[in-house]
């Protein structure tokens, strides 16, 4: 069961890095730093969007309009951090007994 906890923790950690990469990609795209007509860059952007958008969409629906600022990735990172801390502080001690 500890292996399952570690695997879930690894998946959440990996998703955190994908979320950060998606935010950086969106900034680079918004400021026209990257060439969006490049097929490889476009595929990376599409992958990041498809992986992160299902988790960000419900947060964006709940959030009030803040103008052009999107803080939904920050909120999702806080939720992931909370889940990881909750998982290790409540489930791991039970498994180690």
What is the domain partition of the chain in residue ranges?
A: 1-95
Helix (H) / strand (E) containing 30:
helix 2-30
Tell me if 60 sits within 8 A of 54, measured CB to CB. Answer: no
DSSP count for the chain of H helices, then E strands? 4, 0
Query: How does pLDDT run across 64-94, given as a tens digit for each residue?
Result: 888 888 899 999 999 999 999 999 898 877 7
Q: Quote the pTM value.
A: 0.89
């Amino acid at each position: 069961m500890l292996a399952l906890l570690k695997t879930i923790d690894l998946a959440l950690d990996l998703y955190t890095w994908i979320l950060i990469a998606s935010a950086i990609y969106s900034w680079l795209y918004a400021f026209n730093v990257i060439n969006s007509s490049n097929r490889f860059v476009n595929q990376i952007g599409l992958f990041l969007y498809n992986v992160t958008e299902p988790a960000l969409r419900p947060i964006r629906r709940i959030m009030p309009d803040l103008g052009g600022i999107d803080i939904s990735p920050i909120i999702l990172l806080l939720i992931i951090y909370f889940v990881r801390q909750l998982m290790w502080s409540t489930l791991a001690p039970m498994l180690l007994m």
